[in-house]
């Protein structure tokens, strides 16, 4: 038979470990359960609203249908524990760790998560609507349905996660790292991203139309068939990205970097590409019609069959471009190949016999 509430609180008060106990349905609202080791304990259906879990460790515990709303989770560790239809709405989580946990239903709506790590967890049916997440890390997790709608993500990292089932309507991204994550097909139209890192992410078919993505980093990302129409993306980085058939019509991309990008069949019609850098980019059959290309650098780019009609090309650099079939109307104001630089680039040392 399990211990009662009084005995539980006595053990907590004396810093004694609590092992293999069943607290199913126990009323523990507002209880002080801090600085305690709970191992293989059952909290299914327990009422833990406003409880203090500061500096406690929950090892291989279960919390199915438990109510932890408004609880304090500071310096708390959950290891190989299970959450199922668990309520933690309005809770404050600080310096907390979830390691190898099985999360199948966790309501964190309107909660504050600060410096929280989810590592090697299965995360499904998680509600974060309206929550504030700062310095939150999800690493190596299997992600199912997670609702980030209206949440604020700040200085957080979602690393190598499949996020295709997640909801991001109205989510604010600020200094967020999404390295090697899969967001294919997601819609971010009109949303704001501040200094967001999408390095090597899969963003195939994503919609960023009218989004504010200044200084975002898409280096090495998969962006085939994506939409950036009218996006505000000055200083964005698309180096070595796959932009096949992507649409950037009328986007603001001043000083953006497209070095080494692959953009066959892409459309940038009417985009502001002032001082953008396209060195070694591959753009066959793409459209740059009507673009602002003043001071743009196309050194060694492949511009075969590119439509540049109506583009402003004042001092645009066309050094060593490959442009058979390209159509220009302002090439006369562009800078052609520099013979001395070209000779230097093509120089080869003479073999010593």
CATH number of the domain where residue 291 is located: 2.160.20.80
pLDDT of residue 1: 52
Q: Is the pLDDT of residue 2 over 80?
A: no
- Structural domain includes residue 219: no
Confidence of residue 343 (pLDDT cuts 50, 70, 90): confident
- Number of independent structural domains in the chain: 1
- Structural domain includes residue 23: no
Q: Find the mean pLDDT for residues 67-75.
A: 96
- Structural domain includes residue 266: yes
Give the model confidence (pLDDT) of 246-297 as tens digits.
999 999 999 999 999 999 999 999 999 999 999 999 999 999 999 999 999 9
pLDDT of residue 45: 97
Q: Is the pLDDT of residue 346 over 90?
A: no
- Structural domain includes residue 318: yes
Domain ranges, residue 307: 226-346
DSSP strands (E only) in 180-337? 193-194, 307-308, 327-328
- Structural domain includes residue 306: yes
- Structural domain includes residue 240: yes
Angle at 61 between CA 57 and CA 65, to 5 degrees: 115
Angle at 139 between CA 137 and CA 145, to 5 degrees: 85
- Structural domain includes residue 43: no
The candidate with the shortest Cα–Cα distance to 322, out of 339, 305, 308, 338, is 305
Phi first, then psi, for residue 329 (nearest 5°) are: -125, -5
Residue 93 corresponds to which tokens in the numbers above?
């989580």
Give the model confidence (pLDDT) of 101-141 as tens digits.
999 999 999 999 999 999 999 999 999 999 999 999 999 99
Q: Find the mean pLDDT for residues 333-337.
A: 92
* Higher per-residue confidence, 338 vs 145: 145
Mean of per-residue pLDDT scores for the chain: 96
Q: Is the pLDDT of residue 350 over 90?
A: no
Cβ-based neighbours of 178, under 8 Å, separated by 6 or more: 157, 158, 163, 196, 197, 198, 199, 201
- Structural domain includes residue 196: no
């Amino acid at each position: 038979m399990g211990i009662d509430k009084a005995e539980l609180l006595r053990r907590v008060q004396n810093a004694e470990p609590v092992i293999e106990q069943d607290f199913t349905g126990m009323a523990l609202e507002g209880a002080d359960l801090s600085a305690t080791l709970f191992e293989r304990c059952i909290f299914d259906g327990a009422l833990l609203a406003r409880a203090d879990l500061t500096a406690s460790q929950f090892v291989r515990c279960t919390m199915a249908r438990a109510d932890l709303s408004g609880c304090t989770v500071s310096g708390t560790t959950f290891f190989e524990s299970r959450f199922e239809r668990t309520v933690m709405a309005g809770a404050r989580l600080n310096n907390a760790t979830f390691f190898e946990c099985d999360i199948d239903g966790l309501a964190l709506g309107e909660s504050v998560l600060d410096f929280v790590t989810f590592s090697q967890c299965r995360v499904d049916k998680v509600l974060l609507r309206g929550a504030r997440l700062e310095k939150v890390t999800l690493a190596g997790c299997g992600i199912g349905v997670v609702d980030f709608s209206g949440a604020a993500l700040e200085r957080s990292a979602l690393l190598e996660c499949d996020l295709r089932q997640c909801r991001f309507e109205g989510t604010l991204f600020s200094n967020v790292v999404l390295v090697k994550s899969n967001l294919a097909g997601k819609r971010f139209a009109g949303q704001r991203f501040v200094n967001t890192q999408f390095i090597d992410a899969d963003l195939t078919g994503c919609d960023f139309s009218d989004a504010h993505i200044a200084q975002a980093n898409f280096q090495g990302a998969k962006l085939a068939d994506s939409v950036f129409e009218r996006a505000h993306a000055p200083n964005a980085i698309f180096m070595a990205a796959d932009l096949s058939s992507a649409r950037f019509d009328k986007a603001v991309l001043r000083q953006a970097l497209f070095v080494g990008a692959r953009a066959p069949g892409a459309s940038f019609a009417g985009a502001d590409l002032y001082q953008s850098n396209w060195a070694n980019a591959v753009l066959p059959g793409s459209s740059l019609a009507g673009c602002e290309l003043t001071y743009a650098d196309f050194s060694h780019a492949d511009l075969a069959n590119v439509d540049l009609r109506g583009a402003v090309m004042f001092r645009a650099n066309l050094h060593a471009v490959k442009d058979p079939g390209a159509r220009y109307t302002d090439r006369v104001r562009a800078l052609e190949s520099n013979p001395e630089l070209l000779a230097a680039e093509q120089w080869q040392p003479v073999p010593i016999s």
